[in-house]
Amino acid sequence: MNQPPVPGQEFPQTQQPQPVQVAVPRVKPYATYAILGFTILIYLGQVLGQYYNYDIVTALGVKDNSLIRAGELWRLITPVFLHASILHIGFNMYALFIYGRGIESRYGHGRFLLLYFLSGYAGNVMSFLLTASPSLGASTAIFGLIAAEAVFLLQNRPLLGKQVNRALMNLLYIAGINLVIGFTTVGVDNWGHIGGMLGGVIFAWFGGPRWKLEGFYPSVKVVDEREGHGALAGTLSLLLFFVPLTALGWIWIAK
């Protein structure tokens, strides 16, 4: 039976949950800015060479299968610094600026550099195997960054919450649209993109940040379980997969 409240009677107030400040590991993205600046500098060298009808910068660094088989293995890395046009470098450097800063802030400088250049290497290996034409561009590494970001969100979903699903869908949409464009546009080395994505997935899956909460209220912080060994684990995992594929390039001749 309900009874009316007694005048002057006080009722206990429900306590509201208190927000907890959680410290997240972050670093300044100096490596991202360094790559961006150096790539632009290299492109200016390309433009200067083209002006004088002798683009030695591109000649020395483009992915060329026959020259790679002749021993110029650096051509599996150097194409990430080279671009064919102002639009080409513009799109790639914009993507690096958008994705690179956040990824580096979580990966740290050294691990981020390994992710970037090993993804570029992976993309160029796949191109070496499956694309006969010369190729260049940082998109191999950019696709590796996009894939690594997706792996980070997936592996840290319990900590990051429901917003991860939308972010993952956005990344899948961006990657999918660009792959479709690549397969329907003449002159785009889509095998390089696919190789870069695969390299990014492998590196991030075994060596990317794996966050967990540590400490007690109110001093709670996020720590990376792989901070000490992630770079080595990611590097070895990627190389174990792609070095044999590189060797296969001397047997399998792309046509």
List, by residue number, the catalytic residues.
139, 193
- Cα(251)–Cα(243) distance, rounded to whole angstroms? 14
Max intra-chain CA distance, the chain:
97
Helix, strand, coil percentages (3-state) for the chain, rounded to 5, are 65, 5, 30
**CA separation for the pair 192, 142 (Å, rounded):** 11
Residue type, 153: L
CA–CA gap between residue 208 and residue 107 (Å, rounded) = 7
Cβ–Cβ < 8 Å for 141, 119 = yes
Q: DSSP of 68-125, one letter per residue?
A: HHTT-GGGGTGGGG--SSHHHHHHHHHHIIIIIHHHHHHH-HHHHHHHHHHHHHHHHH
Q: Which residues does 227 contact at the CB level (< 8 Å), separation at least 6?
A: 25, 108, 209
Residue 44: which H helix or E strand, with range?
helix 30-51
